[in-house]
Structures are given as structure tokens and as C-alpha cells.
Amino acid sequence: MAKSLNYLRRIEIMICPRCKGNGYFKVKQDVYTKKDIVVQCPQCKSKGEIEDENPSYDYSGIDANKLQ
């Protein structure tokens, strides 16, 4: 039986790039009208945040001597 090691996974929370953290965004209702309608964000399920299981941060440029 395999033991789950979920506590070893590093999950980062990041702001949803589609709605920019609002949980919704506006789209044009029609090509011919200027009216916008509000749509709930399907990518983050209207939370404004998504989980990034594979963070791709590049720490190679950090100099420990220059940190405050």
C-alpha cells in the first residue's frame, strides 16, 4: 500500500491571471452593442486564486549578501 506524501508537495497560491483576482470579468454582450456583461471566472471558480503545483521561480539571481 503506497503512503500518500501530500505534506511534501509544495503548492503555491497565485492570483488568477484570467480575472486578475476579482473572481469575475466583463465581456461584450454583442458585437453591435457596447453593453458589457459580468461573467464568473471558470478558471479559479470565482475565488480569485489558483493553486500552482509546479512553481517555476528562478532563485539563481538572489544574492544572500544583499538581502535585508
Is residue 23 assigned to a domain?
A: yes
Number of folded domains in the chain?
1
In a domain, 11, yes or no: no
Please check whether residue 39 is in contact with residue 26, taking contact to mean a CB–CB distance below 8 angstroms.
Answer: yes
Of 6-10, 11-15, 36-40, 60-64, the one with minimum mean pLDDT is 6-10
Q: Is 31 domain-assigned?
A: yes
Q: Is residue 26 included in any domain, yes or no?
A: yes
Q: Find the domain containing 47 and state its range.
A: 16-52
pLDDT-based confidence at residue 68 (cuts at 50, 70, 90) = low
Note the pLDDT tens digit of each residue in 6-21: 555 567 788 999 999 9
* Average pLDDT of the residues in 53-59: 63
For residue 24, give the 3-state DSSP assignment.
Answer: strand
Residue 1 domain-assigned (yes or no): no
Tell me whether residue 9 is in a domain.
no
- Is residue 7 situated within a structural domain? no
Its pTM stands at 0.57
